[in-house]
Amino acid sequence: MRIRLIQGKQKEIIERLNEDYSWLELSKLLHISENYLRDELRNEQRLLSDEIYTKIKKIAHKDLDNFITERLEDNWGRVKGGKNSPGSLKKINLPEESEGLAEFYGIMLGDGNLTIRKAYKIGTYQIRIVGDSRYDKDYLAGYVKPLIERLFNLKVKISLSRYSNALFLTITSKELAEFLKTKGFKSGDKIRNQLEIPSWIKVNNDFLRKCLRGLYDTDGSIYKLTNQNSHQISFTNYNKALLNDVRGSLLSLGVGVLQITKGKEILITKKSELRKFLNEVGFSNFKHLNKVKRWNLVP
């Protein structure tokens, strides 16, 4: 088995290990020649074997599985032409604009990330959604994963971090990455890019409701105020452009909200406005739905 990592990651990991070990010491630990390690593996002329990859993880004391883009059979180079011919690739579905696509877009704006790194011959095209395995597992595995698979006819990989409570949904697809770009989702840091709700969603209230639902399922929360028989729904994000979009969108749907507080939070406090939000937008995330039911907030 051969392991392909995100472009540049294999080189980065090996060079970091070389800061702690000489090339000779490291080659002995991996049971390979110094030249093969320094010249071919470091420069990504060869993929890591499963055995070498396992040893590198052990030496580095680091979980590297999230950087894997492909696992290939040892004879992949000889059968590459047959396996990767256009006729054998599963074609993904590129859906029309819809409520489902708008909800997925909102989820991406909240907890999603798009990575596009173009390189000669091999590039990285990855879509990832991250949540907390303690609270979001049912939502991500039971709702978001099937939603993505229905929309795009793609299999979604689900994985857990070994060193934190993070749970990941990962899709590696150039077609999907490029499709999301056409819908307004930029690659890289969402805050730096100041991503907003795109116009194709804003002009359709049904799409807008679903997009807001995706945003509140990921970056929203609902809680009972201390020593009070009242509740709040909040939305927290550090993207000012998105905060303004969310607030303006809620107002356009008739949901009264407070001004943005602390530069990162939108609050809905009045009981009448809570009910309007639950009527107009609502939740799909089970952790929120359970609270709504427990506190009898269902309109």
Sequence-distant contacts of 49-52: CB under 8 A, at least 24 apart: 49/1, 49/2, 49/3, 49/74, 50/1, 50/2, 50/3
Element of type H or E holding 116: strand 112-117
Percent of the chain, pLDDT > 70? 92
* Local confidence band at 92 (pLDDT 50, 70, 90 cut-offs): confident
- Cβ(6)–Cβ(40) below 8 Å: no
| List of E strands, 143-279 | 157-160, 166-172, 220-224, 231-236, 265-268
Strand order in the sheet with 68-72: 48-49, 2-5, 68-72
Residue 88 has pLDDT above 50, yes or no: no
Q: What is the DSSP letter of 183?
A: T
Q: Which of 57-66, 84-93, 154-163, 264-273 has the highest mean pLDDT?
A: 264-273
- The DSSP line for 43-84 is TTSSPEEHHHHHHHHHHHTS--GGGEEEEE-TTHHHHHHHHT
Q: Of 265, 262, 210, which Cα lies nearest the Cα of 232?
A: 265
| For residue 281, pLDDT beyond 70 | yes
Task: Look at residue 259 and tell me whether its pLDDT is greater than 70.
Answer: yes
Q: pLDDT tens across 6-51, in order? A: 888 899 899 989 888 888 888 889 888 888 888 889 888 888 888 8
Q: What is the pLDDT of residue 49?
A: 87
List phi, psi (to 5°) of 208.
Answer: -65, -40
The two structure tokens encoding residue 41: 């593996």
Percent of the chain at pLDDT above 90? 61
b (16+ CB within 10 A) / e for 148-172? beebbebebeeeeeeeeeebbbbbb
Which pLDDT does position 81 carry in this prediction?
Answer: 42
pLDDT at 231: 94
Order the strands of the 231-236 sheet from edge to edge. Answer: 220-224, 231-236, 265-268
37 DSSP 8-state letter: I
Q: 82 pLDDT exceeds 60?
A: no
The predicted-structure confidence for 181-239, as pLDDT tens digits, reads as follows: 999 999 999 989 999 999 999 999 999 999 999 999 999 999 999 888 899 999 999 99
Beta bridge partners of 72: 2
| Interval 174-184 mean pLDDT | 94
User: Can you list the domains of the chain with their CATH numbers?
Assistant: 2-87 (1.10.260), 99-193 (3.10.28.10), 199-294 (3.10.28.10)
* Six token digits for residue 65: 């599985």
